[in-house]
Structure 1
Amino acid sequence: MNTTQQLHDLGQSVWLDNITRELLQNGTLQNYIDNYNVTGLTSNPTIYEQAIRHSHFYDEEIKEKATEGKTNSEIFFELAIEDLRQAADLFAPIHKATSGVDGWVSLEISPLLANDVNATISEAIRLHESAQRENLFIKIPGTPSGCIAIEEVIFAGVPVNVTLLFSCEQYMKAGSAYMRAIERRIAAGLNPKVASVASLFVSRWDVAVKDKVPADLHNKLGIAIAQRTYRAYQHLLDSPRWLDLAKAGAQTQRLLWASTGSKDSAISDTFYVQELASPNTINTLPEKTLLTFGDHGLIGHTMSVDGDNAEQEIALFMKAGIDIDLLAGQLQTEGTASFTKSWNELLAMINSKSVTLANGEAEKQQPTPTIPTEPTAPSRPTLRLKKYSKELT
C-alpha cells in the first residue's frame, strides 16, 4: 500500500497544488488521480505565471485573445477557467461519489480586490457562473475584509476556498463567517449545503522565525499552530451551533493544510505531510512533494484532537520573543502582498507574450529583405548572416 493510499484511508484528502495545460493534456493529472489518490487541486497566479512562461501551450490562445482586444486579466481568467473546467470534469466522478465532499478545483480571485468587499463579492459570483462547474471553489483571502465578502458569497450559494489563514484565530473568524452565511440561508429558506474549505498555511511560520529562535525550535512552530487549529476545528464540529446546522443539511467547512512543501534541507522532504496526517482534513501538495511522499513518505502518527503539546511548544516560542498574534497578522499581510506581486507578474507575462507573439506574426508576414553584397576576393571568407528572434520561454 502506498503512503498516499494510507492518507486516503485515514480520511485525509490529497489535493495537488498545481495545474497546467500540459498536465491535463499529457495524462499526468489522470495518473495522479489513478495512482496517487489525488482527489482535487488548487491553483494560484504563481502557478500560472510559471506555466505560461515556460511552455507554449497557451501561446495561440493568448495571441488570439489579445488580437480580440481582451485585457490581460480577461485573458488569464479565460485560460484558467478552460483548464479548471477540464480538471473539474476529471474530478467529477469523485465529487459525485463523495456527495460533494471531495473532487474540487479552485480558482483564485484577483488579489487587487482584497480590500474591496463589494467588488470581491461581484467578481466571485461572476467567475463561478462563468466556469459553469459545481465543483469549483472561488479562493478568497480570510482577511478582515475578505471574511465579510466570504459570508456574502457563501450566502449567495457560491462555494469558497478561504485562503491565507495563518492562525487559529484567523481560522475561527473564517469559520464564523461560513456559519453565519449558512444560518442566513436556512432563515431565507435556501439550501444550506454550500461547500467551503479553510486553508491554513503552515511552513511559512517556520521560515519566518528560523533566524529568530534557537536551533532546537526550528521547524516546530508551523506544526504547533496547525495542532492548535486542528483542536479548534474539532471542537467547532462538536459545538451545538454546528450540530444544528449539520442537522439542517449543512456541509462541513473542511480544514485544509496549505504551504506544506519542506523549505529547509535540514528536515525531510515529506516532513509536513507526515506531521499533518489527520482525519477529515485536506493536504494540498506541490507536485514535487506529492511524488516524494508517494515514493518514500511515512505516516508514524496522526494529529491528536487535543492538540498534543501545541500550547507548550507555542509557549517556548513566546519565551524566545516571538509574538504569535503579531506574527500571524504580519504573515497574512505579507501573504496578501506576495499574491499581489504574483498577480502583477502574471499579467506582465501575459502582456509580454501577447506582444512577442504579435510581433512574430507580423514579422512572418513581411517579405524577407534582400541584403546587397559587395564583390569580394576569392580568398575572403563568406559572411553568413543569422537572424535571431527573441522568444520568452
Structure 2
Amino acid sequence: MNPLLQVREQGQQIWLDNLSRTLLNEGHLARFVADDGVAGVTTNPAIFYKAIAGGRYYEDDLAALKRQSLSAESRYEQLVIPDVQRACDLLLPLHAQSGGKMGYVSLEVSPELADDAAATVAAGLRLKDAVGRANLLIKVPATSAGLVAIEQLIAAGVSVNVTLMFSLAHVDAVAAAYVQGLEKRREAGGDVAAIMSVASLFLSRVDSLIDKQLDELGGDALALRGKAAVATARLAYQRYRARFHGPAFASLQSAGARPQYMLWASTGTKNPAYSDLLYVEPLIGPDTVNTLPDATLDALRDHGKVANTLELDVGQAQATLDGLAGLGIDMNAVGEKLQADGLLQFKEAFAKLLELTAD
C-alpha cells in the first residue's frame, strides 16, 4: 500500500508544501490528492516567488497586470489568489466529506506586517474575503504582534495557520492565543465550530542551528546531533494532548470547537548525513499534519516506513532537551533566533516577489 495512504490511516494528514499553476494546470496536484491522499496545501512567499519566476503560466497575466495602475503587492495578490481559489476548490470535496477537518489551503499575510497586529488582522480579513473559500487558512507568524493578531482573527471567525514556530515556548503561546480567541468568539455569541487552526512547528532549521553549536562543543555533545527537532515535536504533541484533550478545553469542545492541531513544517532534511524522512517517520500520530515539499513527498511514497511513532520514547525526548540544557543550549533562545531569521528570509522572498510584479 502507498505509504502516504498508510499515514492517513494513522490519523495524520499530509499536506503539500507547494503551489503553482504548473501543479494546477498539468494535473499534478489533483493526482496528489486522488492517488496519494494529500489533504491540504501550504504556501509562503518563497514558494510563490519560485512559481511566478519560473512558471510560464504566469507570463500573460503578469504582463496584463503591469499595464494597469496597480501596486506591486496588488499585482502579486491578483496572480496568486486565483491559484489559491483553484486549490481550495480542488480540496473542497475532501473538506466537506471530513466535516471541515481536512482540505485546507494556506495563504500568508505580508511578512512586512509581522510586528503590526492591527495591520495583520486587517490583511487577514481582506485576504479571507478576497479568496472567499471556507477552506482557506490565513497564515500568521508567531511573533509577539502575531499572537495578538491570531487571537483577534480567531475571535472574528477566521481560520489560521500559525507559522514560524520553533520552540515549546512558541507552542504554548500560540495555543493560548487560539483558546483566548475562541473564548472571545463564544462570549460574543459567535460560532466556534467552523474555525480551524494549525500550529506549524518548524523542524529541520532547529537541528541545523543546534548541530552547529554541538559541533563547536565536540566530545559527548556530538551524540545529540540531529535529535533536538524530533524531541521538541514529540514533547509539543504531549502538550497538545494535555491541553486539548483534557478538562481545560472540554467546555469549548462541547460548543463544537476543534483542537489546534500540531503541524510539522520545514520537514525537508537539510543534512545529507540524516535520513531523508527524519522529520516524517518518527512523527506520525493522530490529529497532526505534516506538510512536505515535493522531494520529501516523493521519498515517503517511495520508501517510507509507516507506524504510529509520535508518542514513542517521550522520556528520551525530554532527556534530549535536558541534555541540551545541561550543555548551556537554551531552546527558547534558539527559537527566538530562528524565528527572527525565518522572518527575515520571508521578507527577502517577499521583496523579490514584488520586484517581479513591479513596473
TM-score, length-scaled by structure 1: 0.87
Give the whole-Å Cα distance in 1 for the aligned partners of 2:347 and 2:213. Answer: 27
Q: Which residue of the partner structure matches residue 236 of structure 2?
A: 229
- The reply to whether residue 202 of structure 1 matches residue 203 of structure 2 is yes
Other structure's SS at 1:19 match: coil
Amino acid at match of 2:174: A
Alignment of 1:45-56 (within 5 A): 45-56=45-56
Rate the CA distance shift 1:331–1:298 in 2: closer, same or farther, 3 A.
same
* 1:127-153 deviation per Cα after TM superposition (whole angstroms, max 9, x unaligned): 000101010000000111101011111
Give the whole-Å Cα distance in 2 for the aligned partners of 1:152 and 1:300. Answer: 38
Q: Which residue of the partner structure matches residue 325 of structure 2?
A: 318
Rate the CA distance shift 1:338–1:10 in 2: closer, same or farther, 3 A.
same
Other structure's SS at 1:331 match: helix
Contact 2:10 / 2:308 at 8 angstroms: preserved in 1? no
Amino acid at match of 1:230: Y
Other structure's SS at 1:163 match: strand
Rate the CA distance shift 1:305–1:161 in 2: closer, same or farther, 3 A.
farther
Amino acid at match of 2:213: K
**Which of 335, 342, 356 is matched with 2:349 structurally?**
342
C-alpha displacement of 1:241: 2.4
292-301 vs 96-105, which moves further: 292-301
Contact 2:284 / 2:306 at 8 angstroms: preserved in 1? yes
Other structure's SS at 2:91 match: helix
Q: Which residue of the partner structure matches residue 272 of structure 2?
A: 265
Give the whole-Å Cα distance in 2 for the aligned partners of 1:118 and 1:171. Answer: 22
Give the whole-Å Cα distance in 2 for the aligned partners of 1:301 and 1:285. Answer: 18
C-alpha displacement of 1:268: 1.4
Amino acid at match of 1:205: V
Give the whole-Å Cα distance in 1 for the aligned partners of 2:12 and 2:232. Answer: 18
- The reply to whether residue 158 of structure 1 matches residue 158 of structure 2 is yes
Amino acid at match of 1:27: G
* 1:352-390 deviation per Cα after TM superposition (whole angstroms, max 9, x unaligned): xxx5xxxxxxxxxxxxxxxxxxxxxxxxxxxxxxxxxxx
C-alpha displacement of 1:319: 2.4
Other structure's SS at 2:57 match: coil
Contact 1:231 / 1:306 at 8 angstroms: preserved in 2? no
Alignment of 1:141-156 (within 5 A): 141-156=141-156
Higher helix share: 2
CA root-mean-square deviation: 1.3
Q: Which residue of the partner structure matches residue 297 of structure 1?
A: 304
273-282 vs 297-306, which moves further: 297-306
Alignment of 1:119-134 (within 5 A): 119-134=119-134
Other structure's SS at 1:283 match: strand
* 1:76-122 deviation per Cα after TM superposition (whole angstroms, max 9, x unaligned): 11111100100000100100011111100000000000111111111
Q: Which residue of the partner structure matches residue 283 of structure 2?
A: 276
Give the whole-Å Cα distance in 2 for the aligned partners of 1:306 and 1:175. Answer: 24
C-alpha displacement of 1:225: 0.8
C-alpha displacement of 1:331: 1.0
Give the whole-Å Cα distance in 1 for the aligned partners of 2:54 and 2:222. Answer: 38
Amino acid at match of 1:336: L
Other structure's SS at 2:69 match: coil
* 1:262-281 deviation per Cα after TM superposition (whole angstroms, max 9, x unaligned): 11111111121111111110
**Structure 1 unaligned residues grouped into runs of 5+:** 356-393
Q: Which residue of the partner structure matches residue 386 of structure 1?
A: none
Dislocated runs of 4+, deviation >3 Å: none
Q: Which residue of the partner structure matches residue 190 of structure 2?
A: 190
Other structure's SS at 2:268 match: coil
Contact 2:15 / 2:40 at 8 angstroms: preserved in 1? yes
**Structure 2 unaligned residues grouped into runs of 5+:** 215-220
* 1:298-323 deviation per Cα after TM superposition (whole angstroms, max 9, x unaligned): 12551118834211011121223311
Q: Which residue of the partner structure matches residue 255 of structure 2?
A: 248
Give the whole-Å Cα distance in 2 for the aligned partners of 1:236 and 1:168. Answer: 13
* 1:188-233 deviation per Cα after TM superposition (whole angstroms, max 9, x unaligned): 1111121111111111110002222143222100011111111100
TM-score, length-scaled by structure 2: 0.95
Other structure's SS at 2:106 match: strand
Percentage of pairs with the same residue: 37
State which structure, 1 or 2, has the greater radius of gyration over its C-alpha atoms: 1
Contact 1:227 / 1:308 at 8 angstroms: preserved in 2? no
Contact 1:230 / 1:307 at 8 angstroms: preserved in 2? no
Rate the CA distance shift 1:300–1:29 in 2: closer, same or farther, 3 A.
same
Other structure's SS at 1:252 match: coil
Alignment of 1:1-393 (within 5 A): 1-193=1-193, 194-213=195-214, 214-304=221-311, 307-351=314-358
